[in-house]
């Protein structure tokens, strides 16, 4: 099936051809005609299914075909996303697919100056991509008028609810005209999503393109058991010996991401960290450097990685297992996308056996264990509790002091321990 049969205009087909897409993905096949027909949509589609083009193309066509009210341009399509990165990526897609149409778009999200966004909104915008918090900032500053919105898209709605945006979403809904088209995209269907869908959608076309855990089936997964203090060394070894050029590495904490990134740099592996404490500029730069190959390892926390669109990522490494098993599925969904073979590796230490069990329960299967020669875990090492939240693991040990003394102790320990362990392991 080609794009020509979906009812898209010549301008949009040209933009699609520029991208080199030969045929629509399953979500596009279903969503595009339904949206063009003016229907509401409830789509269960993850990142990587082509969902962005699935709603952007028909949305642009509807706006370009129906005339706007005369006078200053007002926002006619509003796309809400959970994260800044996703907003930026959707904004890029709107630009890309709309390049031959006389429509204007803008992206607004927090963490950057508001004034340039205000200028852009003042100049008139047809399509606005936004994260909920900054959108409401604009509303309260009266720099944004939502009274002419005809199409609302909630992208990754499950993520928005996970991140606590439900109240913001309700506030936004109250600002929109009653008569409008609503498109809801969500990777998962919790009861909260169903409630939101019931409230929001009018006789929606339901589209289900990928079952929830398909990434788990498509991606080859392996667990490398290793001691907690030797994970970094093993990671450097894997990156170097496998000559990996592009690997996304997950840590549990922001602090852990920064620390790992510095250590990898010391090992001569160009790395960047991406997490919520980084400025928007730093995050955008890190992602661009990773995409263009200047950086080999991108170290990310779960929240920062959501919605990242990185093509054909060959390797994903769980440097630390996530506390929430569903996050594991989201993480490994970053590899093996759009039919490409992907490999997800988890470096698992004795502290994480319970987390691993939870993940295997969710996947309904055991993951294969493969020890790497020279990195076999030392069976005498006892599990330690996993530190949640700030600080990261490895910095707090039983009996360690709080405050700066603890940090120093942690650093000294991190420097000296691997050697000691290696000697021990060899001796044993
Ligand atoms: P999404 O699920 O929207 O995040 O899209 C995932 C990736 O698929 C993006 O890099 C798109 O550029 C790409 N893509 C979207 N539609 C198609 C298509 N019809 N054929 C090939 N790639 C596509």
Indicate the burial class of 211 (C-beta count within 10 angstroms; 0-12, 13-18, 19 or more): exposed
Going from the C-alpha of 327 to that of each of 120, 250, 422, the distances in angstroms are: 36, 10, 32
Give the distance (Å) from ligand 1 centre to CA of residue 58.
15
Specify whether 161 is located in the same domain as 305. no
Give the distance (Å) from ligand 1 centre to CA of residue 37.
22
pLDDT in tens, 3-38: 999 999 999 999 999 998 889 999 999 999 999 999
Q: How far apart are CA 313 and CA 295, in angstroms?
A: 13
Residue 119 within a domain: yes
**CATH (domain of 127):** 3.40.50.300
Say whether 96 sits in a helix, a strand or coil: helix
pLDDT of residue 282: 86
Identify the top-confidence range among 211-215, 235-239, 402-406, 420-424. Answer: 235-239
pLDDT at 417 over 70: no
pLDDT of residue 402: 32
Specify whether 349 is located in the same domain as 274. yes
**Atom 16, ligand 1: residue with shortest CA distance:** 50
Specify whether 179 is located in the same domain as 266. no
pLDDT at 166 over 90: yes
Scanning 292-403, the segments in alpha helix (DSSP H) are: 302-305, 325-332, 353-363
Indicate the burial class of 21 (C-beta count within 10 angstroms; 0-12, 13-18, 19 or more): middle
| The token pair that represents 227 in the structure block | 């001691």
Share of the chain above pLDDT 70, in %: 85
pLDDT at 190 over 90: no
Residue 213 within a domain: no
pLDDT of residue 415: 31
400: pLDDT confidence band, cut at 50, 70 and 90? Answer: very low
Share of the chain above pLDDT 90, in %: 65
pLDDT of residue 423: 34
Specify whether 240 is located in the same domain as 379. yes
Q: What is the mean pLDDT of residues 126-151?
A: 96
Specify whether 300 is located in the same domain as 166. no
Q: Is the pTM of this model over 0.75?
A: no
Q: How far apart are CA 205 and CA 218, in angstroms?
A: 27
Specify whether 145 is located in the same domain as 226. no
pLDDT in tens, 284-341: 889 899 989 999 999 999 877 775 667 668 899 999 999 988 889 888 877 765 556 6
| Contact residues of ligand 1, CB 6 A cut-off | 21, 24-25, 28, 47-53, 309, 311, 338
pLDDT of residue 338: 54
pLDDT in tens, 141-161: 999 999 999 999 999 999 999
Give the distance (Å) from ligand 1 centre to CA of residue 332.
18
pLDDT in tens, 65-83: 987 777 778 999 999 999 9
**Atom 13, ligand 1: residue with shortest CA distance:** 50
Asked which of 156, 186, 208 is the last residue of a domain, the reply is 208
Q: How far apart are CA 172 and CA 157, in angstroms?
A: 14
pLDDT of residue 404: 34
Mutational test site, ligand 1, from 15, 18, 25, max ligand atoms within 8 Å of CB: 25
pLDDT of residue 365: 86
pLDDT of residue 337: 55
Which atom, in ligand 1's list, is nearest to the CA of 89?
A: 4
**Atom 10, ligand 1: residue with shortest CA distance:** 311
Q: How far apart are CA 301 and CA 246, in angstroms?
A: 17
Give the chain's domain count.
2
Specify whether 342 is located in the same domain as 402. yes
Specify whether 286 is located in the same domain as 394. yes
Asked which of 208, 235, 259 is the last residue of a domain, the reply is 208
pLDDT of residue 399: 33
Specify whether 323 is located in the same domain as 203. no
pLDDT at 57 over 90: yes
pLDDT of residue 78: 98
Specify whether 226 is located in the same domain as 199. no
**Atom 8, ligand 1: residue with shortest CA distance:** 50
Which atom, in ligand 1's list, is nearest to the CA of 52?
A: 3
* Domain that residue 136 falls in: 3-208
Give the distance (Å) from ligand 1 centre to CA of residue 366.
31
Residue 257 within a domain: yes
pLDDT of residue 252: 94
pLDDT of residue 335: 79
Q: Looking at 137-151, 177-191, 196-210, 405-419, which range is the least confident one?
A: 405-419
Specify whether 134 is located in the same domain as 244. no
pLDDT in tens, 351-392: 999 999 999 988 888 999 999 999 999 999 999 988 764 333
- Average pLDDT taken over every residue of the chain: 85
Which atom, in ligand 1's list, is nearest to the CA of 307?
A: 4
**Atom 22, ligand 1: residue with shortest CA distance:** 21
Q: Looking at 34-43, 172-181, 408-417, which range is the least confident one?
A: 408-417
Going from the C-alpha of 233 to that of each of 236, 238, 261, 271, 347, the distances in angstroms are: 5, 9, 12, 15, 11
Give the distance (Å) from ligand 1 centre to CA of residue 49.
6
pLDDT of residue 15: 97
Residue 12 within a domain: yes
């Amino acid at each position: 099936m080609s794009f020509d049969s979906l009812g898209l205009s010549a301008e949009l087909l040209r933009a699609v051809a520029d991208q080199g897409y030969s045929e629509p993905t399953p979500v596009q096949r279903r969503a595009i005609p339904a949206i063009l027909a003016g229907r509401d949509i409830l789509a269960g589609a993850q990142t990587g299914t082509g969902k962005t083009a699935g709603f952007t193309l028909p949305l642009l066509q509807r706006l370009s075909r129906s005339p706007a009210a005369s006078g200053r341009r007002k926002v006619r399509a509003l796309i809400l996303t959970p994260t800044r990165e996703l907003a930026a990526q959707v904004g890029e897609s709107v630009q890309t697919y709309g390049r031959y149409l006389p429509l204007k778009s803008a992206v607004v999200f927090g963490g950057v100056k508001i004034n340039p966004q205000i200028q852009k909104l003042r100049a008139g915008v047809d399509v606005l991509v936004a994260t909920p918090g900054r959108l409401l900032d604009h509303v309260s500053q009266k720099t944004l008028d939502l009274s002419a919105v005809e199409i609302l898209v909630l992208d990754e709605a499950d993520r928005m609810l996970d991140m606590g945006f439900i109240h913001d979403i309700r506030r936004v809904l109250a600002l929109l005209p009653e008569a409008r088209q609503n498109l809801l995209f969500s990777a998962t269907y919790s009861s909260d999503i169903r409630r939101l869908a019931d409230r929001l959608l009018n006789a929606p076309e339901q589209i289900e393109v990928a079952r929830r855990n398909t990434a788990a089936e498509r991606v080859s997964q392996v667990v490398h058991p290793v001691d907690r203090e030797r994970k970094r060394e093993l990671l450097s070894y894997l990156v170097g010996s496998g000559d990996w050029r592009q690997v996304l590495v997950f840590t549990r904490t922001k602090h852990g991401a920064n620390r790992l990134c510095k250590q990898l740099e010391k090992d001569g592996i160009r790395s960047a960290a991406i997490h919520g404490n980084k400025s928007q500029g730093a995050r955008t730069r890190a992602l661009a450097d990773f995409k263009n190959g200047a950086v080999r390892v991108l170290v990310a926390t779960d929240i920062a990685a959501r919605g990242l669109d990185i093509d054909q990522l060959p390797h994903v490494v769980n440097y630390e297992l996530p506390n929430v098993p569903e996050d594991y599925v989201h993480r490994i969904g970053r590899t093996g996308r759009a039919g490409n073979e992907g490999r997800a590796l988890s470096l698992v230490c004795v502290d994480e056996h319970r987390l691993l069990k939870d993940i295997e329960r969710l996947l309904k299967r055991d993951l294969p264990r493969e020890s790497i020669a020279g990195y076999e875990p030392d069976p005498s090492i006892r599990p330690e509790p996993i530190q949640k939240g700030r600080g990261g693991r490895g910095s707090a040990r039983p009996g360690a002091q709080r405050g700066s003394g603890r940090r120093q102790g942690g650093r000294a320990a991190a420097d000296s321990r691997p050697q000691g362990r290696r000697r021990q392991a060899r001796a044993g």
